Amino acid sequence: MKTTQLEEKLQYYHELLVQMLNEVEGALFLAVDATRKRDTTLASQIIAHDQAINTLRDTAEHEGIMLLVTERPYAHFLRQTISDLKIAGEIERMGDYASHLAKVGSALPHSKEVDFIVSQICEMALCGAKMARSVADALDSQTSDLARMVAKMDDTIDSKRDMINNLLFDYQSTTDEERVALYQCFYLTKEMERLGDHATNICEWMVFTIESVRPKLN
């Protein structure tokens, strides 16, 4: 079957989104490394590189708007264009959370309590990186069943969040420095939980493209 100009443009659009997801996945791995090692130099590099994800987002949004204006897509193609515009914004937010993890996590002090919680936050981030990779695969396959499977991975992140929050409420900090660090851990835990939510939102938009109805997967 001959590929139409609209289909070619949508394929290019998908390639942009997958590239964004690849960047986010890499940023999350590096952010975990910077946090574990308290490497502020690496963190600065991750923060600076976040602009590359923002630039890809801007390009994707421009391409999506131009598609709507010039091609006037309808039915499935209209849903796909609208969904892809939404997805670009969701991915950009995931990149922001990777940058924030690197910035805050690399500056945290060491202590027994803080180090353990940081290790669990890093596990949340790694699960988010896995979701980013799986979302990219789901975008390539364009199957709603795979999108739903990926969304279920967010349950692992939510469980980690609950466990960390319980620990934070139980810990009795002994110094002002540790008290501030534990608050920052609470902040990072919330952001990593939102990371999974954004990945889940992407899955919902993919299902919308295929099935015409956006489900509530989280």
Tell me, yes or no, whether 37 lies in a domain. yes
Tell me, yes or no, whether 78 lies in a domain. yes
pLDDT of the chain, 218 residues: tens digit per residue = 345 887 788 888 889 999 999 999 999 999 999 999 999 999 999 999 999 999 999 998 888 888 888 878 777 788 888 899 999 999 999 999 999 999 999 999 998 889 999 999 999 999 999 999 999 999 888 888 889 999 999 999 999 999 999 999 888 888 889 899 999 999 999 999 999 999 999 999 999 988 887 878 77
Q: What are phi and psi of 4, to 5 degrees?
A: -80, 165
Tell me, yes or no, whether 216 lies in a domain. no
Tell me, yes or no, whether 184 lies in a domain. yes
Domain holding 54: CATH number?
1.20.58.220
Number of domains in the chain: 1
Q: What is d(CA 183, CA 178) in angstroms, rounded to the nearest whole number?
A: 9
Tell me, yes or no, whether 218 lies in a domain. no
What b/e string do you get for 167-195 counting C-beta neighbours within 10 Å, with b at 16 or more? bbeebebeeeebeebbebbbebbebbbbb
Enclosing domain of residue 90: 5-211
- pTM more than 0.85: yes
